[in-house]
């Protein structure tokens, strides 16, 4: 699922729990994004594509902008808005090198994470519920580290 679709899905999931969300989109050209966006629209929450229309404050900013490439996309106006906002930033499966211009406080990573830059903040591994057979099919011996948890911190504790 493309990063943008992950972000739209997250906004929809939050909205289904009564959270008022504002979705900012930079591109909607992938079919998965279009599908998620059509579902999100049913929540009646706002969809914006102009940085100047974003609210001045928010409780949490969730970033799902860039695929993991050597040169992730950079969105300077959006980065400026995020950096001026006082809300904590959570990145969803960000590029290993970080999202250009944005330094999240936390990053949520799926399945078997790659080494990440300190530009991604505190890292957490999320249990996405993949069946063990998926790992077996590709020759990976896998035993879930999650137990009853759905998220595991991958950073040292703050003492």
pTM over cut 0.85: no
Per residue in 20-49, pLDDT tens? 999 999 877 788 889 999 999 999 999 999
Question: How would residue 8 be classed by pLDDT, with cut points 50, 70 and 90?
Answer: very high
Q: How far apart are CA 59 and CA 40, in angstroms?
A: 20
Q: How far apart are CA 16 and CA 74, in angstroms?
A: 30
Conformation bin of residue 84: beta by default, left when phi > 0, alpha when psi is -120 to 50? alpha
Per residue in 55-97, pLDDT tens? 988 899 999 987 767 777 788 999 999 999 989 999 998 888 8
Q: Is the pLDDT of residue 19 over 80?
A: yes
Structure tokens at 93: 């499966």
Helix (H) or strand (E) holding 123: strand 122-126
The pLDDT, as a whole number, for residue 110 is: 83
Q: Which residues are CB-neighbours of 27 under 8 A, at least 6 positions away?
A: 4, 33
Domain ranges of the chain: 3-125
Task: Please check whether the domain covering 3-125 is classified as CATH 1.10.150.120.
Answer: no
């Amino acid at each position: 699922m493309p990063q943008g679709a992950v972000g739209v899905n997250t906004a929809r999931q939050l909205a289904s729990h009564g959270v008022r969300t504002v979705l900012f989109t930079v591109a909607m050209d992938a079919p998965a994004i279009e599908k998620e966006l059509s579902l999100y629209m049913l929540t009646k929450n706002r969809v914006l594509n102009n940085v100047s229309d974003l609210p001045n404050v928010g409780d949490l900013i969730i970033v799902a902008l860039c695929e993991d490439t050597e040169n992730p996309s950079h969105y300077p106006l959006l980065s400026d808005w995020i950096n001026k906002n006082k809300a904590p930033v959570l990145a969803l499966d960000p590029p290993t090198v970080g999202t250009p211009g944005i330094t999240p406080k936390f990053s949520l990573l799926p399945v078997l994470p790659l080494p990440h830059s300190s530009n991604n903040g505190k890292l957490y591994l999320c249990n996405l519920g993949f069946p063990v057979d998926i790992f077996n099919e590709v020759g990976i011996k896998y035993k879930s580290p999650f137990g009853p948890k759905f998220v595991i911190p991958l950073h040292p504790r703050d003492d």
